[in-house]
């Protein structure tokens, strides 16, 4: 099979690494890719949101499967673009149409969807510029901290959690009246704060059947001990110790099955991944958010634990036979630590030379913001390299990653030294 992966992060390197191992693969392209994806296929300089260019390339190279890494092209309708054009409609897109991607693209839609399908989530109301006063009154009925969410995509920055009522009202006004997040905050969801531990659960689905992939926990804040600004993710682990059989059964019965049934009931054809951002409160799972793609850096720990052929699962989607395919999961643990540019998630410099020395035998070095220039690998983003390692448990996997990290260098390199620490038994 000829496959094109869209995207350029650690997630896409992990996808390329995994797809590259498939006996079903004849040729792999990554657009635009990074210095790491080059080891598994050919990078092509195409912007994943330029659908026409993606389509021209796909026709020229007889691409059969396009795997969409990030949410942007999905929310903007890349799957619709392909399926509505007779010349392109035979190409399988791994990722939903816009009507399904809206589960991630609109928080207001996803909250309504959950309410309509009895899926456990925080209590909420939505407001727009004409209902700011109602929003303020609603905030007064709640207890701190207050959770405000921009409805649309806001590059991971659209969720505010504030302690004082006064600040919550001010932020609500700034989001709605002053468009703090541009058109993403034309609507704002105000919801109850849920106090618990987060876990990410992933499925792959053809809209009828689904397969559960390994779960993961990511570390979003820049600072150790979960302090400082939010980032795209500074590390991840899998499996997650508290996500035991009993918990996963609840997730499947109360969340996954009602989501698949709800999509069918609303006539939303969905193929691809669903990423359930969950929180465990007093033994029960609640949905914090849906994403229509895999997570980054979660992918860097879940694909290394997937023993089955990923391309075989994609082929199951292409031929509507996903139910007949197997998902086998490696019982080993995997942990990943993200190496970031100094200054990230605020301003940082690109173009620093990267040196990679000895890699621990149980580590895999996934590139994220890197590129190859004049035969040298240089930094090209905030999150630069994700070092994943296997181990018999989380503690040993993370230890192996830190041992590899000792041999990776670039100017102003930063990373968290406490990934996985919270779940390691003392």
CB of 296 to ligand GLY, least distance (A): 5
Show the tokens assigned to 173.
């006004």
CB of 399 to ligand GLY, least distance (A): 22
Is there binding between residue 381 and ligand GLY (CB under 6 A)?
no
The CB-based long-range contact list for 131-138 (8 Å cut-off, 24+ gap) reads: 132/172, 132/173, 132/176, 132/177, 135/172, 135/176, 135/188, 135/190, 136/169, 136/172, 138/190
Q: Which is nearer to ligand GLY, 122 or 168 (CB)?
A: 122
CB of 199 to ligand AMP, least distance (A): 11
Q: Which of ligand AMP, ligand GLY, none interacts with 296 (beta carbon under 5 to 8 A by kind)?
A: ligand GLY
Q: Which of 291, 379, 388, 404 binds ligand GLY (CB under 6 A)?
A: 291
CA angle 46, 50, 52 (to 5 degrees): 100
Binding positions for ligand GLY, 44-83, rule CB under 6 A: none
Nearest one of 188, 193, 139 to 161, comparing CA atoms: 193
Q: Which of ligand AMP, ligand GLY, none interacts with 354 (beta carbon under 5 to 8 A by kind)?
A: none
Cα(218)–Cα(287) distance, rounded to whole angstroms? Answer: 16
Nearest one of 105, 102, 152, 162 to 128, comparing CA atoms: 152
CB of 71 to ligand GLY, least distance (A): 8
Q: Which of ligand AMP, ligand GLY, none interacts with 370 (beta carbon under 5 to 8 A by kind)?
A: none
**β-pair type (42-43, 27-32):** parallel
Is there binding between residue 218 and ligand GLY (CB under 6 A)?
yes
Judged by CB under 6 A, the number of residues near ligand GLY is 7
Q: Which of ligand GLY, ligand AMP, none interacts with 295 (beta carbon under 5 to 8 A by kind)?
A: ligand GLY
Q: Which is nearer to ligand GLY, 55 or 75 (CB)?
A: 75
Q: Which of ligand GLY, ligand AMP, none interacts with 194 (beta carbon under 5 to 8 A by kind)?
A: ligand AMP
H/E run at residue 384: strand 383-391
Cα(152)–Cα(175) distance, rounded to whole angstroms? Answer: 12
Strand order in the sheet with 65-68: 42-43, 27-32, 2-7, 65-68, 92-94
Q: Which is nearer to ligand GLY, 215 or 298 (CB)?
A: 298
H/E run at residue 12: helix 10-19
H/E run at residue 336: strand 333-341
CB of 161 to ligand AMP, least distance (A): 6
End-to-end CA distance of the chain: 47
Q: Which is nearer to ligand AMP, 91 or 150 (CB)?
A: 150
Q: Which is nearer to ligand AMP, 3 or 236 (CB)?
A: 236
Q: Which is nearer to ligand AMP, 293 or 332 (CB)?
A: 293
Is there binding between residue 333 and ligand GLY (CB under 6 A)?
no
Q: Do 270 and 100 contact (CB within 8 A), yes or no?
A: yes
Bond prior to 300 in cis (omega within 30° of 0) = no
Nearest one of 207, 218, 420, 188 to 300, comparing CA atoms: 218
| Binding interface with ligand AMP (CB under 6 A) | 122, 147, 159, 191, 193-194, 198, 277, 288-289
Q: Which of ligand GLY, ligand AMP, none interacts with 218 (beta carbon under 5 to 8 A by kind)?
A: ligand GLY
Contacts of 295 (CB under 8 A, 6+ apart): 11, 200, 202, 216, 218, 233, 236, 275
Q: Which is nearer to ligand GLY, 7 or 233 (CB)?
A: 233
Is there binding between residue 295 and ligand GLY (CB under 6 A)?
yes
Dihedral sign for Cα atoms in the order 216, 100, 310, 2: negative
Stretch that binds ligand GLY, among 134-142, 250-258, 293-301, 400-408 (CB under 6 A): 293-301
Q: Do 339 and 370 contact (CB within 8 A), yes or no?
A: no
Q: Which is nearer to ligand GLY, 139 or 279 (CB)?
A: 279
Dihedral sign for Cα atoms in the order 76, 107, 203, 8: positive
Helix, strand and coil percent figures for the chain, each rounded to 5 = 30, 30, 40
CB of 90 to ligand AMP, least distance (A): 35
Q: Which is nearer to ligand GLY, 238 or 291 (CB)?
A: 291
Q: Which is nearer to ligand AMP, 31 or 74 (CB)?
A: 74
Q: Which residues bind ligand GLY (CB under 6 A)?
A: 218, 232-233, 291, 295-296, 298
């Amino acid at each position: 099979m000829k496959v094109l992966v869209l995207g350029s992060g650690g997630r896409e390197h992990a996808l390329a690494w995994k797809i590259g191992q498939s006996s079903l693969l004849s040729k792999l392209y990554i657009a635009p890719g990074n210095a790491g994806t080059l080891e598994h296929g050919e990078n092509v300089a195409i912007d994943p949101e330029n659908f026409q260019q993606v389509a021209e390339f796909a026709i020229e190279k007889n691409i059969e499967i396009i795997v969409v890494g990030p949410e942007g092209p999905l929310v903007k309708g890349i799957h619709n673009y392909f399926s509505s054009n007779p010349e392109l409609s035979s190409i399988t897109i791994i990722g939903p149409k816009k009507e399904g991607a809206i589960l991630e693209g609109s928080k207001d839609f996803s909250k309504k969807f959950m309410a309509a399908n009895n899926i456990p989530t925080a209590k909420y109301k939505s407001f727009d510029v004409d209902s700011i006063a109602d929003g303020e009154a609603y905030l007064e009925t709640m207890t701190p901290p207050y959770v405000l969410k921009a409805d649309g995509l806001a590059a991971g920055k659209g969720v505010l959690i504030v302690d004082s009522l006064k600040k919550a009202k001010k932020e609500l006004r700034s989001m709605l009246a002053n468009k703090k997040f541009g058109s993403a905050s034309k609507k704002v969801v105000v919801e109850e704060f849920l106090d618990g531990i987060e876990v990410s659960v992933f499925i792959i689905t053809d809209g009828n059947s689904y397969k559960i992939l390994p779960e993961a926990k990511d570390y979003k804040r820049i600072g150790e001990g979960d302090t400082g600004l939010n980032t795209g993710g500074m590390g991840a682990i899998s499996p997650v110790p508290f996500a035991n059989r009993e918990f996963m059964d609840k997730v499947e019965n109360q969340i996954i099955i009602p989501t698949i049934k709800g999509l069918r009931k609303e006539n939303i054809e969905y193929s691809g991944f669903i990423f359930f951002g969950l929180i465990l409160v007093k033994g029960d799972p609640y949905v914090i958010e849906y994403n229509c793609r895999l997570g980054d850096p979660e992918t860097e720990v879940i694909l290394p634990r997937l023993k089955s052929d990923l391309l075989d699962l994609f082929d199951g989607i292409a031929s509507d036979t996903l139910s007949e395919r197997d998902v086998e999961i490696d019982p080993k643990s995997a942990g990943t630590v993200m190496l970031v540019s100094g200054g990230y998630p605020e301003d940082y410099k690109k173009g620093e030379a990267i040196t990679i020395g000895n890699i621990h035998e149980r580590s895999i070095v996934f590139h994220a913001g890197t590129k190859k220039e004049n035969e040298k690998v240089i930094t090209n983003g905030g999150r630069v390299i994700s070092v994943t390692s296997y181990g018999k448990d989380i503690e040993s996997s993370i230890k192996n990653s830190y041992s590899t990290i000792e041999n990776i260098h670039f100017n102003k390199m930063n990373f968290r030294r406490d990934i996985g620490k919270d779940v390691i038994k003392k």
